Amino acid sequence: MSASGAHAAAVLPGATLGVMGGGQLGRMFVHAAQSLGYRTAVLDPDPASPAGLVSHHHVQTDYLDPAGLARLSELAQAITTEFENVPAPALRTLAAQRPVAPAGDAVAICQDRADEKAHFARAGVPCAPYAVIRDAETLAAVPDTLLPGILKTARMGYDGKGQARVSNRAELAAAWAAMGSVVCVLEQRLALQLELSVIVARGADGQCVHYPVQQNLHVAGILAVTQVPAPDVSPELAAQAVACAKSIAASMDYVGVLCVEFFVLDDGQGGQRLVANEMAPRPHNSGHYTIDACDVSQFELQVRAMTGLPLVQPRLHSPCRMLNLLGDLWFRAGPTEQTPDWAAVLALPGTHLHLYGKTSARAGRKMGHLTLTGPNAEAVQTTAAQAAACLGLVDC
Ligand code: ATP
Ligand code: MG
Each domain of the chain, given as residue ranges in start order, spans: 3-110, 129-188, 192-391
Ligand 1 atom nearest to CA at 188: 27
Q: Give the pLDDT means over successive 10-residue stretches in the chain (396 positions).
A: 54 98 98 98 97 98 97 98 91 96 95 96 96 97 97 85 93 96 96 97 97 96 95 96 98 98 94 95 98 98 98 98 97 91 97 96 96 98 96 87
Which residue CA neighbors atom 9 of ligand 1 most closely?
160
Q: Does domain 3-110 bear CATH number 3.40.50.20? A: yes
Domain 192-391 has CATH 3.30.470.20: yes
The atom of ligand 1 lying closest to the CA of 159 is 3
Task: Name every protein residue with a CB atom under 6 angstroms from any ligand 1 atom.
Answer: 128, 150, 152, 157-161, 187, 189-190, 192, 195, 218, 221, 261, 277-278
Ligand 1 centroid vs 97 CA: distance in angstroms? 36
pLDDT value of position 3: 44
Residues 6+ apart with CB under 8 A from 195: 215, 216, 217, 218, 261, 262, 263, 264, 277
Helices 88-95 and 66-75 sit at what angle, rounded to 10 degrees?
A: 50
CA dist., res. 253 & res. 101, Å (int): 11
Q: State whether CATH 3.20.20.70 applies to domain 129-188.
A: no
Closest CA to 263 of 216, 209, 220: 216
Judged by DSSP in three states, 147 sits in coil
Rg (CA), the chain: 21
